[in-house]
Amino acid sequence: MDGQKLFLFDFDGVIVDGMNEYWQSSLLACDKFLNSPDIKINQDLYKKVSNTFKEIRPWVKYGWEMVLIVHEIIKLENPLDKNNKKDFINQYHQNCQKILKNNDWLAEDLQKFLDESRKYQIDKDFEMWVNLHKPFYEVISFMEKLKQEKIKTGIITTKGAIFATKILETLNIFPELIFGYESGTKTEIAKKLYKTYEIVGFIEDRMKTLIEIKQNPDTQNIPCFLADWGYLKESDISTLPKEIRLLKLRNLEDLLAI
């Protein structure tokens, strides 16, 4: 360890609120690439994010799951809605696997469709695509302050790194490190980084990810913060382990004292 300090951030739900983009891009992936006989895409669907989708988003780990969820929500027969949503999230992982199997889909293909859908929109109208993301300006200003303190910043996201980079550039944020889903799990990435840097914090809105970091002997000393402005499950706050701190946007700058 050379003592160089590094602060890590998740991207979606921490730096930006991309709910509109997740819906649009996943819907477009279903529309253009999925080729499913069970759906019929009406243009009105693009106008408003489904509430069921918003409510399920806290369970999502990888982008491909959003394509699958949108498909379930818009399918003509027995769609996923407020009536069966609870059953779906109670066995979230198993349900995603079952749906993949029943449709003969591969997770990698759905991820590819989502990435293609993003590329398509970027080529067609970059401005429009970027504007689907709402930045959390408090986080951006915190990142700038870290820079002034000579603390490096790194993003670890389950999005493709190229997409996170494009959004960050428009926000004038240039983190030293950006890792997307291509680079492995967040714990693996953190473990590697920990060999080189002194990691002074990790802000993430998925509690399970922070628990994995805290349970791994190689990364357990990383100070972990759950972003209360992100996509949290209702149960997250009441079941938060004591070694993970709940963070509010207004308390971000307190972390500069570290």
Cβ-based nearer residue to Mg ion, 84 or 235: 235
> Cα–Cα distance between 93 and 18 in angstroms, integer?
22
Cβ-based nearer residue to Mg ion, 13 or 180: 13
Site string for Mg ion, 197-226 (x = CB under 5 A): --------x---------------------
Cβ-based nearer residue to Mg ion, 75 or 245: 245
> Cα–Cα distance between 133 and 108 in angstroms, integer?
24
Stretch that binds Mg ion, among 12-20, 101-109, 133-141, 160-168 (CB under 5 A): 12-20
Residue 10 touching Mg ion (CB under 5 A): yes
58-82 burial by CB neighbour count: b if 16+ within 10 A, else e?
A: bbbbbbbbbbbbbbbbbbeeebbee
Tell me the pairing of strands 134-135 and 16-17. Answer: antiparallel
- Which residues, listed in sequence order, are joined to residue 24 by a DSSP beta bridge? none
- List the one residue out of 157, 163, 156 whose CA is nearest residue 120: 163
CB of 157 to Mg ion, least distance (A): 7
CB of 210 to Mg ion, least distance (A): 11
Residue 115 touching Mg ion (CB under 5 A): no
Among 9, 13, 67, 155, contact with Mg ion (rule: CB under 5 A): 13
Do 156 and 71 meet the contact criterion of CB atoms below 8 Å apart? no
Q: What angle, 0 to 180 degrees and rounded to 10, lies between the N-to-C axes of helices 186-196 and 207-215? A: 50
Site string for Mg ion, 160-199 (x = CB under 5 A): ----------------------------------------
Q: Which residue is nearest to Mg ion (CB)?
A: 13
Residue 17 touching Mg ion (CB under 5 A): no
Q: Give the SS3 label for residue 7.
A: strand
Residue ranges that bind Mg ion, judged by CB under 5 A = 10, 12-13, 205
